Structure 1
């Protein structure tokens, strides 16, 4: 009997150990998936904000305040531990109804900062230095290399280029199956300064 009991105990222990390993593997897999989803969410949030700013630049409409809170860099591991704190922190939320006005003022102030170039200015400056048309991917990579401090998204670059095409500042062309962009040709813009100089010289000689 003792041998049988010991054998059953060993079997149960081995089974529990196997279950622990299986659960640990699944837990790590879920954590990896959550981390990937959080990174994807952060990218989508950044794209959403850039698109809102682009639309506000084109239409003049103010950017609506964002109600969602950005995810914490600590990940979901801190969520179970702080679940009770978050539940208690929901009570004084009436204060959150006041900051949106301040958030709008802060964002408008950031837009008006003279040292920060808009995406349109960045893309126009980049295209002016290129010899020929480039695709969205090439422009995105080039701008990323020229401005490493800024987060450059292909979606924002494409939408900004289309807006510049609509304003006549950028020209769009097709190369095989892809679309390329380049600076729109200037119409007599370079000849005007020379004409002015010639007029000044002729007036002095007279």
Structure 2
């Protein structure tokens, strides 16, 4: 009887340890996928912003071209043939007068309309000058004299750009993408990871990274 209880206890301990390990791996995998989703959403927002700018510029250019073209009614007005009878000629004059007035009113409506897309394009173009997260990270690393962790980069960028929401997980995924493209370098000090731009010298003792910046073990 004691032998049966011992084996049952050992089996329960093994299952408990296995379940705990599987749960830890599941949690880490969720964190990794969440970081990738955040990075993709940041890239999607940048593409949508560029699409809005290009669409506004396209509309502005299209409206300007349309406004410079002569109205078809005004060009066709002189080609109306003169009528022989007095009644018909009077009707023709009234028709021509209506067409001319319509053409003039159409031109007066089109001219102000052409200014609106231009103003919208200028306002949108000013927003397009805002750098992307990738550009911000590269500029920040270039200005640094020593390696920086993802948490330090996120904190610095958040303070420099309070109007933008910058998460450490998104920064880590983005800078890893720069490392994959050889635009940045990754170094490790113990269990901490630091980043520098390509060709930037690394000091002997970089600052200690916050606990939240330690890489996940996949």
Give TM-score scaled by structure 1 length: 0.39
Give TM-score scaled by structure 2 length: 0.37
Of structures 1 and 2, the larger Rg is shown by: 2
